[in-house]
Amino acid sequence: MTKSLREPSLLQALICIVGIFLTIALGLLLVGISIHILVFLCIIWVSIHAAYLNYSYTDIQRMMSDSIHHALPAIYIFILMGMVIASFMYSGTIASLIYYGLSLLTPSIFLPVGLILCCLMSIVTGTSWGTVGTIGVVLMGIADAIHIPIFLAAGMIVSGATFGDKLSPLSDTTNLAAMTAGVGLYQHIYAMVYTTLPSLILALGLFSVIGLQFAGSTIPIEQISEIQIALASLFHLDLWITLLPLVCMLVLSLLRFSPAICMTCSIVTAVIISILYQDRPIVEVLNALWLNTPANTGIENIDALLGRGGIYNMAWTLILSIMALALGGVLYQAKFLAVLINSFINKIRRFSTLVATTITAGFVSNLGMGEAYISIILNCQLFKALYTKLDLHHAILSRSVEEGTTVTTPLIPWTTAGAFYAATLSVAVLDYAPYAFFNLLNPIVSVLMAIFGIGLLRGQR
């Protein structure tokens, strides 16, 4: 006889959700267990709770599979993204941006130009970590040489790196937020433009005003020349050729082709340039699409960046995303999240309160779990039904979730991003956080715009 399915009580739902937060927070921050294993343990924990509600093994497996199935288009993007990054490295696209970007620096405009360079690098590569570890390290050395406070320079670098990581179609968090909220990648980016660009303009204005006091200082030409010579020894750097893969992607994106088509065409363009213009062996270029390897310029951080990309290097994020989607599927379909929504969140009636609550929940999730990936997925699952109920486009959900997670994770010392930035830039998180103007302003701008009804897209898709 088949047992009737039951809904969880509020107490059970709370125990289930709190158990997930504690497992990840304690395991990641105190014990140092791999986040993938912690998510696996959370899946077991949630499955036990679902079984208590009379769900069978087949039911639970179906919940996981349904959640993953809905995210398949974004999973394809993850795979293509690895190939895009590797091909951009081989075509000299990334090297050209570094080479010519460094030539723009003068003392009086160091902070605003540095911000723009970090934004561009992060947008093109889709990684804030790679930006901080390359251009960021170079800019920190220059800042120290011309007596710009290193905590101010670090705040500028983190601001630019976060902007690109949030807005780039190649960013894993950008794709993850869109995928989990159930919206198209470019719908998600379009929605973020409303709040992200004004925040960047404000941050750029602040850095420009502060930077004026450093006019008259000199730039260490030798340090810049060393990097440019190293890049020129590995690549032909004609911008008219090396930027073609990026132009291809941007043009096709503006013509509203699907992300998969845009990325595939840019990969093919970059591979052709790598073989015909950069004189790289075809076997080497194609193998790099699977697993890129570090370059050999003699500059460690540059070598590491040029070795980024490839399908294999996306495996960590891709596998974590699939596991977290499985976890979210059980939480959602077994109605653990619905019980919490009905008890607490459904009391929200104003758009601005919903946006502010979503952002705050993302920040609190980062505080508790130390990792943005899980925070993004859990909060998208948690708030999705309410955005549907209030007839707000799910791109506003994905935008608000990113503004509570991606933007705030560098401001928390014990998150993976905060720890990496502090170690790489040799500046404590709490020292640079007050000067990470973009990270501080973006959530505030988002809430203010919601209060005045600006940039609130309606409808579900």
Token look-up 């406070």 returns 149
Q: pLDDT value at position 309?
A: 80
Q: Please name the residues in contact with 455: beta carbons below 8 A apart, sequence gap of 6 or more.
A: 191, 194, 195, 449
Q: pLDDT value at position 217?
A: 66
Side-chain half-sphere CA neighbours of 186 within 13 A: 14
Stretch 437-453: mean pLDDT, rounded? 93
Stretch 236-256: mean pLDDT, rounded? 86
Q: pLDDT value at position 270?
A: 95
pLDDT tens digits for 41-92?
999 999 999 999 999 999 999 999 988 887 777 778 778 878 988 898 899 9
Stretch 119-143: mean pLDDT, rounded? 79
Q: pLDDT value at position 228?
A: 85
Residue 139 has pLDDT above 60, yes or no: yes
Model pTM above 0.75: no
The segment with the largest mean pLDDT, out of 142-146, 309-313, 342-346, is: 309-313
Q: At residue 392, what are phi and psi to the nearest 5 degrees? A: -95, 140
- The single-letter DSSP state of residue 109 is G
pLDDT tens digits for 379-407?
888 888 888 888 888 899 999 999 999 99
At residue 163 the predicted structure's pLDDT band, cuts being 50, 70 and 90, is very high
Nearest CA among 88, 107, 190 for reference residue 396:
190
Cross-strand bridge partners of residue 458: 392
C-alpha to C-alpha distance for 146 and 140, rounded to whole angstroms: 10
